[in-house]
Amino acid sequence: MRTLNKIIMIISIVVLGCPAITAQISAIDFNRLIIGKSYKVLLNNKWDTEGILLKKDSASIQIRNNISTYTIKNSDILQIADPDSEFTEESEMKQSMQADSALKTIELTDGSELIGYITDEDNTSIKFKTQSGTELVIRKSQIKAIESERSDYYAGADPNQTRLFFAPTGKTLKSGTGYFSVCELLIPMVAFGVTDFITLAGGITILPGASEQAFYLNGKVRTVEAKNFDLSAGILYANTTGSDNVGLTELYAVGTYGTDDIALTFGGGLSLSEDNETYPILILGGEAKLSKSLKLISENWIPVSQKSSKLFSLGLRFYGKHLAGDFGLMLPVDPNGEIVNGWPFFPWVGLNYNFGM
């Protein structure tokens, strides 16, 4: 009778064990794993082991090999196979990992940053492919932090492409991104991308001792997005706090043509002054990248009204991923075409913090 029971037990294990795990399991059914049976386990980080299954539950399994006993989270397991079976080819797994990898920024212990994709990983190092296609092997001891990036982010991109010094360009902020800016140290402003084609912005002066402060609100909608060309339309409202006046409202349209290296911005607006007089304003500007973190900017306001002064400017923008700084020289020209006596320029200084990038 004992011999018969042993035979029945052996047959049961064979019958239950055969369909349990094949050479490759794409979706692991942990309920079919048999306690006491030997398995090969491959983790997401490419570490593998072979041993006897001691325990299993909905969160983890416990494996004992000839060295030690390991508790492994189910979420960390890539494949499980019989000891005599083979895992999926490593080349196929690498392609799968690369296809599913998100864009990452790796900050190293020396302060430098790399942007690209993690293509492979083990206990001591990772293989990393930069946006330019360079493949690197980085020791984990050299890594300070790893941060996920938006898929459209790239190194050397100007985070403030939606404006020149103050005037808007034809581009809009990406959804969920924005910036906080302080111009001339006395005009804080904030902007936010509601969607990829709608940007809202506003700002107010903080002049010490002033009984009233000037403020503005701006909404911009991108209507055209083509290769090397963006066209937007918007409305800007400005007034002073506590004022009974209707303020100033400007309807505008602006387009930007060019690449990330060099671009031209042109547009115009129709302003409504407090006495209901209307007059158009032309905006001409440009930007040219000088290096990975520096660009040249020009912004020029040319009112058509013969009663209004013109404003010309030229300056630089220093920028990184989150921080940017503008410095320019503004040249006002009065309606008669004359420049003020003495030093004719006044400086423009702007500091920007960009978030959600």
- Residue showing tokens 């349209």: 253
Spatial contact of 252 and 267, defined as CB atoms under 8 Å apart: yes
Instruction: Count Cβ atoms within 10 A of the Cβ of residue 222 and give its class: 0-12 exposed, 13-18 middle, 19 or more buried.
Output: buried
AA identity, residue 61: I
Together in a domain, 95 and 59: no
Domain tally for the chain?
A: 3
Spatial contact of 78 and 43, defined as CB atoms under 8 Å apart: yes
Together in a domain, 346 and 210: yes
Q: Is residue 156 part of a domain?
A: no
Q: Is residue 168 part of a domain?
A: no
All residue ranges of the chain with pLDDT < 70 are 1-27, 45, 88-101, 150-155, 273-278
Provide the CATH number for the domain around residue 277.
2.40.160.40
Residue 242 has a pLDDT of: 83
| pTM value surpassing 0.85 | no
Residue 48 has a pLDDT of: 80
253: β partners: 233, 268
Together in a domain, 77 and 95: no
Residue 152 has a pLDDT of: 58
143: β partners: 108
Q: Is residue 155 part of a domain?
A: no
Together in a domain, 333 and 190: yes
Together in a domain, 71 and 94: no
Spatial contact of 173 and 199, defined as CB atoms under 8 Å apart: yes
3-state secondary structure of 176: coil
Cα–Cα distance for residue pair 283/256, rounded to 1 Å: 11
3-state secondary structure of 209: coil
CA-atom Rg of the chain in angstroms: 31
Cα–Cα distance for residue pair 212/71, rounded to 1 Å: 67
Q: Is residue 40 part of a domain?
A: yes
Closest CA to 21 of 8, 36, 32: 32
Q: Is residue 164 part of a domain?
A: no
Query: Given 61, 81, 101, which residue is the final one in a domain?
Result: 81
Together in a domain, 141 and 252: no
Residue 353 has a pLDDT of: 95
Residue 244 has a pLDDT of: 80
- Residue showing tokens 């020209």: 333
User: DSSP letter string over 260-329?
Assistant: SSEEEEEEEEEEE-TT--EEEEEEEEEEEEEETTEEEEEEEEEESSTTS-EEEEEEEEEE-SSEEEEEEE
Residue 8 has a pLDDT of: 38
Q: Is residue 193 part of a domain?
A: yes
List the domain range (segments joined by +) for residue 13.
2-81
Q: What is the pLDDT of residues 104-134, one digit of tens each?
A: 888 888 888 888 888 888 878 888 888 778 8
